[in-house]
Amino acid sequence: MNDQICIASVREISPARKVFRFAWGLLFLFAATMAFSSGQKSASTQTSTPVFKNVTVAAGLAAIGTPFGNPSWGDFDGDGYLDLWVDNHYNSAPYFYRNNGNGTFTDIFASTGLEGKGDKHGNGFCDFNNDGFLDLHITTGARHGTTLGTKSDRTLMNSGSFFFTDITASAGTDDTWGQGRSVAWADYNHDGYPDLLLGNLKTDLVLYRNNGDGTFTNVATTAGLGGLRYNEADFADYNNDGYPDIYLSDVESSRANTERLFKNNGDGTFTDVTKAAGIQPLTQGRSVVWGDYNNDGYLDIFISRGADVETKQTLYKNNGDGTFTDVTAAAGLGALSNNRAAGWGDFDNDGYLDLYVVDSGTDPNGKGPNYLFHNNQDGTFTDVAAAVGVQAVAVSRGRGASWGDYDNDGFLDLFTNNGEDNTDFVRGPLFLYHNERNSNHWLKIKLIGTTSNRDGLGARVTISTGSQVQYRENNGSMGHYLSQQSTPLHFGLGQATVVNSVVITWPSGIVQTLLNVPVDQQLVVTEGN
């Protein structure tokens, strides 16, 4: 091959699922051929494990907070650097950190036009009107149900330069009868506009269909989701048919609803496939985290659990036939704990997703150390949090965490916060951990939709390096805990020096293939170009 990137773009003329499976098979054949002909090192070649440095003070972040929803990364001003939203519960204003591009941040919340007060819970970033700027939806509670019918969520439109306008009333997204908890965005009906899924506490969840004119309509009942009461709701395409499905979990001190999986039928409706898919009748699921940890081309699920008692977590392996198998114990993730946020991320860039999990602890003792489960590349994991410096030990209760490469060096950094309402530790310290890197290579991919929604939500990306293939779905998050962030897709490449192929399947059906892609860069791909 020469040193140029070769690009091909075609439109699907057959069902998305057939195209994906065909492309996936070609990728494995292509990868094997390249490995044989070039002798290129695969992504899994071993190198040293990077450590993390606590840079919270040096980066200009606050020392403590009162969180509820997860902290979230997203580039709100389009300068190529990830900014950081850090929720504060009750009547404290959130921290809204603009990335200064030099390793530091400035809290610019006061100048954004956003309201700081209110019973704020989940947050979700998405360019819902396709204008090129990330917008924001915030769920709010109802003060234990006492303000139902009068409370309002907030939909905030980004007009650029970090200024937001509250358009909730005109958009019709107040969810006034919901005790707001989680936020998730996806274009479930493939009309080119992201739709909004809201989980609620002890009240019906809401599916707002984006009408494409700045307004939304609640279609939960007609979509087959009526009367469901779950506080965590998340989109992901588990069966690779190109349509985002829905996973629901619930946390209650008593009589919590058991988890459910709904398959997207591709016609605007959903079908409950929980039992057929092998999903167990479990409760107390906090964070629902989709990621292909074993690189077989299908999204697996990790669910952190906890309700102020120690609970077993769950790892479901996707069998690729519409069913899942509980492999928690075999993977080494079966320890009992009371956990909150979780997120997949390849922190050492070896080509395999690792897993960070926050230990909330219990009263009156507070939290234990958080976990960073390193992927051993054989279906098992080893906790290396202490060895790499991200246990986030504090006299508090653990809450949120999110991965994001804030300094654009190709290695995932980590933000985590502490404190939980209605406990002995309402407030807690914030930690920003900078990844000190190793010698492994990487590739980040930022997608810009044209026919599809501009964020490219629902796009599926496969890459091959030597004999290895990796898969990501652009579902807006590496972990979902009441909130959804917006970051480029990140791939660790090990010692590979070129990415043999990148295949992007857009929600519109357009497929783009790039060959011979240089490593250690952020690749910006516009649909159809």
416, 435, 454: which is the final residue of a domain?
435
Whether residues 368 and 502 share a domain: the answer is no
Using DSSP bridges, classify how beta strands 460-465 and 468-473 pair: parallel, antiparallel or unpaired: antiparallel
Q: What is the CATH number of the domain that holds 239?
A: 2.130.10.130
Give dist(CA 390, CA 291) in Å, integer: 21
- Dihedral sign from CA coordinates of 21, 26, 27, 32: positive
Question: Considering the domain boundaries, does residue 355 fall inside one?
Answer: yes
Whether residues 395 and 479 share a domain: the answer is no
The confidence score (pLDDT) of residue 19 equals 43
Give dist(CA 476, CA 368) in Å, integer: 29
Count of domains forming the chain? 2
Whether residues 388 and 245 share a domain: the answer is yes
Per the confidence metrics, is the pTM higher than 0.85?
A: yes
The pair of structure tokens assigned to 82 is 């990830």
- Mean pLDDT score of the chain: 92
Whether residues 489 and 351 share a domain: the answer is no
User: Residue 249 corresponds to which amino acid?
Assistant: S
Average pLDDT for residues 233-252, to the nearest whole number? 97
Whether residues 382 and 310 share a domain: the answer is yes
- Dihedral sign from CA coordinates of 212, 161, 72, 153: negative
Give dist(CA 2, CA 165) in Å, integer: 49
C-alpha separations of 84 from 109, 402, 421 in Å: 11, 10, 22
The pair of structure tokens assigned to 435 is 């990844």
Q: What percent of the chain has pLDDT over 90?
A: 85
Whether residues 57 and 178 share a domain: the answer is yes
The pair of structure tokens assigned to 140 is 């709010």
pLDDT in tens, 44-60: 455 789 999 999 999 99
Whether residues 299 and 323 share a domain: the answer is yes
C-alpha separations of 395 from 93, 202, 361, 363, 440 in Å: 23, 31, 10, 11, 35
Question: Considering the domain boundaries, does residue 374 fall inside one?
Answer: yes
Q: What percent of the chain has pLDDT over 70?
A: 91
Which range of residues forms the domain containing residue 495? Answer: 443-526
pLDDT in tens, 57-110: 999 999 999 999 999 999 999 999 999 999 999 878 999 999 999 999 999 999
> Radius of gyration of the chain from Cα atoms?
21
The confidence score (pLDDT) of residue 29 equals 43
Whether residues 263 and 138 share a domain: the answer is yes
User: At a CB cut-off of 8 Å and minimum separation 6, what does 357 contact?
Assistant: 304, 313, 337, 339, 341, 342, 370, 371, 373
Whether residues 288 and 349 share a domain: the answer is yes
Give yes or no for residue 20 having a pLDDT over 50: no
User: At a CB cut-off of 8 Å and minimum separation 6, what does 43 contact?
Assistant: 350, 351, 465, 466, 468, 470, 492, 493, 494, 495, 496
435, 463, 480: which is the final residue of a domain?
435
The confidence score (pLDDT) of residue 310 equals 84
401, 418, 435: which is the final residue of a domain?
435
Question: Considering the domain boundaries, does residue 295 fall inside one?
Answer: yes
Is 99 strand, coil or helix? Answer: strand
